[in-house]
């Protein structure tokens, strides 16, 4: 699965070329939980500042900041999310989660919660 995700991102960044806005990794169509199948897409913001995707209006999000100074920062952030869920501390809705990549290099993960 990780190699498929990496290949998708490499292709997306090749297509984005010199785009300098926010880039999103969208996780949706969950079959069950994070261990099941799901869909993953890449999205960008339009020039008008609006996103080209629409998030469910009823969702609330818990935001996790990624330590981008750490080469494994993204994986560690996801591991923290999964650990909190397993411990019952994070009640996910599995509707639409996303990673937000800022032009300056910051990354945040938005997890839809009850």
User: Parallel, antiparallel, or unpaired: how do β-strands 107-113 and 96-101 relate?
Assistant: antiparallel
> Domains, the chain, ranges and CATH?
2-113 (3.20.80.10)
Mean pLDDT, the chain, integer: 88
User: Is 37 exposed, middle or buried, given 0-12, 13-18 or 19+ CB atoms closer than 10 A?
Assistant: exposed
Query: 12-16, 26-30, 74-78, 89-93: which has the minimum mean pLDDT?
Result: 12-16
CB atoms within 10 A of CB 99: 20
pLDDT digits (tens, 9 = 90+) for 63-93: 999 999 999 999 999 999 999 999 999 999 9
Average pLDDT for 18-23? 87
User: In which region does residue 43 sit, left (phi positive, over 0), alpha (psi from -120 to 50) or beta (all else)?
Assistant: beta
Q: In percent, how much of the chain has pLDDT > 90?
A: 57
Asked if 84 and 64 count as a contact pair (C-beta separation under 8 A), the reply is no
pLDDT at residue 3, as a whole number: 76
- What is the pTM (predicted TM-score) of this model? 0.86
- The answer to whether residue 100 scores a pLDDT higher than 90 is yes
Between CA 45 and CA 102 the distance in angstroms is 11
In this structure, the number of other CB atoms found within 10 A of the CB of residue 88 comes to: 7
């Amino acid at each position: 699965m990780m190699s498929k995700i990496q290949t998708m991102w490499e292709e997306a960044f090749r297509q984005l070329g010199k785009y300098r806005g926010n880039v999103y990794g969208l996780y949706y169509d969950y079959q069950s939980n994070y261990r099941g199948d799901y869909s993953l897409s890449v999205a960008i913001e339009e020039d008008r500042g609006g996103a080209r995707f629409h998030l469910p209006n009823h969702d609330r999000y818990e935001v996790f900041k990624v330590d981008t100074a750490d080469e494994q920062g993204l994986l560690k952030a996801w591991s923290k999310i999964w650990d909190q869920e397993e411990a019952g501390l994070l009640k996910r809705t599995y509707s639409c989660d996303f990673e937000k990549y800022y032009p300056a290099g910051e990354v945040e993960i938005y997890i839809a919660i009850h």
